[in-house]
Amino acid sequence: MTAYPFVFSLKSATTFYAEGDDLIFPVQGSSQGLRWRSPTQGWRKTLACLAADGADLDGIARILQSQDGSVDWAKLHYLLGRLDAKGLLSRSVPGNGTVLATLLPMTVRFRFALPKLSPDSHYRLSRFVSLRPEQGQWLLETPLSPAKLWLHDGQALPLVACLAQPTSLDTLCRAVPNCKPDKALAVLALLVAAGAAAPCDAVGQLPEDGNIALRQWESVDLLFHSRSRPGRHDGLCGATFRFLGQIDPLPALKPLAADAGLPLPIPDMARIQQQDPPFAAVVENRRSIRDYTGRELDLALLSEFLFRAARVKAQTDADSPSRPYPITQRPYPNGGALYELELYLSVGACTGLTAGLYHYEPLGHRLLPISGLTTDVQQLLDNARLNSGAATQPPVLLTLVARCQRPAWKYQGMAYALMLKNTGVLYHQLYLAATVMGLAPCGLGMGDSDLFAEAARLDYYQETAVGEFMLGGRLSGDLGS
């Protein structure tokens, strides 16, 4: 199967059980497991060895020879291939009394293909590779492949470092003086098999560099995409409640002083529902408006806008094992009813409201003053103008701020992706509310989260800005709906 000094093992999470004379291997992520029909005593011993310390091909052959009296090499390769096809087999490169690296399939989609390394080629790492410390070791992975590579020993790191630029096999073999050439080449073979490295052309380009689709992905974006959805990784993804019993969930509403803030007038929703234009007309007329000339925004309009778009309609305490956290109900949908997004308002010009930075409290429908029109708040408004291409600063800039630990307490592997989806939903809600009221809305594609954290005096890692939305008033003389 290979001339490389690989040690074969069953993945650590692999289990199997007897069913009559057969062995059954359940496969995660697949409805069809592996049925090993009537394995010989030699193969039963081999599987036990693979589930424990592992063995190279010669070691497997010795077990089969001692138990079955002979070795059928074609069948040996075939049966290892069956384990490979279900993503159950890992490969390690042994070092001097240690293990240099282990290639671990993450899903059944991974197909190990033994690369043919050419002494005439140079090899380089993919720009999509990420390397981080985890569990006291180094974990290397790429969103291009459903496999990951564990680097157990420091000897392997210089080999990986060499591959940041095109490197010949000869140079790679000399990168670590105490590492034998066959071991260095075996590590490279695993990197290539994992999609983390590949041979270059004469100018150092990899095949991925000529792929039009891949050229347009940024490495962090593709990694984020591939790891926040199931399919090509083996991490948990979904409502795992991983901190249940360890950390209390954040409350449904941000704790605030009961008597603080500026109460806002409550609009007459019964009258508004009778007078609003049809929904289809609102959707058809929705557009981004960046011109605030002749547009007037006052406190009553701002109050109605916030009430329509983002108020708390009801709240419920934790009531079941499947929902061991409090929730609220608001005018827009939200994943898990977590409603982690807070609205902060940088006010530049709104009749009846002093310019400055405010936090909207959606249960009591009030504005909580944070600061006046400081240099940071002015910069937030000016950044919005620059990012949108508007001629003037918006009268009001809404910043959507995520209380990150609220979704992260429930969801694993997808918490931040969910926050971004919820941000898009709230954008749409703000657009619809502004459109029906005849206001000037415009969602922005980026903003400075560090600047906002400084302006609002928030912990960047606990509450961070994930969206920005400009708002202007009605045209002068427009009575609106």
* Domain spans of the chain, in order of start: 1-94, 115-217, 238-475
* Cα pseudo-dihedral 321, 323, 324, 326, rounded to 10: -150
Report the distance separating Cα 369 and Cα 264, nearest Å: 13
Closest by Cα among 298, 299, 294 to 476: 294
Q: Looking at domain 238-475, what is its CATH homologous superfamily?
A: NADH Oxidase (3.40.109.10)
Q: What is the DSSP letter of 319?
A: -
- Average of per-residue pLDDT across 458-470: 97
**pLDDT: which is higher, 371 or 256:** 371
For residues 357, 359, 360, 364, the Cα torsion angle rounded to the nearest 10 degrees is -130
How far is 46 from 9, CA to CA, in rounded Å?
10
| Torsion sign (Cα): 160, 166, 172, 174 | negative
**Residue 367: band (very low, low, confident or very high) from pLDDT cuts 50, 70, 90:** very high
Buried b (16+ CB within 10 A) or exposed e, 275-313: eeeeeeebeeeeeebbebeebbbebebbbbbbbbbbbbe
Question: Alpha-carbon distance 105 to 14, whole Å?
Answer: 12
Q: Is the pLDDT of residue 114 over 50?
A: yes
CA distance 18 to 78: 21
Q: Is the pLDDT of residue 60 over 80?
A: yes
Q: What is the pLDDT of residue 29?
A: 67
SS3 category, 158? helix
Residue 296 backbone dihedrals phi, psi, to 5 degrees:
-115, 130
Nearest to 76 by CA among 98, 55, 53: 55
CA 461 to chain centre: 16
Residue keyed to tokens 């009553």: 300
Best CA proximity match to 184, nearest among 168, 196, 195, 199: 168
What pLDDT does 154 receive?
79
- Residue written as token pair 């490197």: 167
pLDDT at residue 271 in the model? 94
Architecture of domain 1-94: Alpha-Beta Complex (3.90)
Answer whether 183's CB lies under 8 Å from 95's CB: yes
Q: Where are the beta strands (DSSP E) in 348-462?
A: 356-361, 366-371, 396-403, 411-412, 440-444
Query: Do 115-217 and 238-475 share a fold?
Result: no
Of the pLDDT bands very low, low, confident and very high (cuts 50, 70, 90), residue 160 is very high
- What's the confidence (pLDDT) of residue 178? 81
Model confidence at 479, pLDDT cuts 50, 70, 90, reads very low
Percent of the chain with pLDDT over 70: 98
Percent composition of the chain: helix, strand, coil (DSSP 3-state, to 5): 35, 25, 45
Alpha-carbon span 420 to 427, nearest angstrom: 10
Instruction: List pLDDT tens digits, range 369-386.
Output: 999 999 999 999 999 999
CATH for 115-217 is 3.90.930.70
Which residue type, as a one-letter code, is found at position 333?
P
Please give the mean pLDDT across all residues of the chain: 94
Q: Which residues pair with 262 in a beta bridge?
A: 367
Q: How far is CA 374 from the centre of its chain?
A: 34
Judge whether 152 and 199 are in contact, CB under 8 Å.
Answer: no
> Residue 95 has what pLDDT?
87
- Phi and psi of 371, rounded to 5°? -160, 170
448-464 mean pLDDT: 96
In this structure, are residues 396 and 471 in contact, taking their beta carbons and an 8 Å threshold?
Answer: yes
Q: Could you give the CA distance from residue 422 to residue 435 in angstroms, rounded to a whole number?
A: 20
- Per-residue pLDDT tens digits for 138-149: 999 999 999 999
Of 341, 342, 344, 311, give the one whose Cα is nearest residue 329: 311
CB 339, CB 423: distance < 8 Å:
no
> Which DSSP state fits 102?
E
Assign 177 a pLDDT band (cuts: 50, 70, 90): confident
- pLDDT, tens digit (0-9, with 9 covering 90-100), for 117-132: 999 999 999 999 999 9
| Cβ–Cβ under 8 Å, residues 306 and 360 | yes
DSSP conformational letter for 363: T
Overall pTM surpassing 0.85 (yes/no) = yes
Under 8 Å between Cβ of 403 and 249: no
Strands 130-134, 137-141: pairing kind? antiparallel
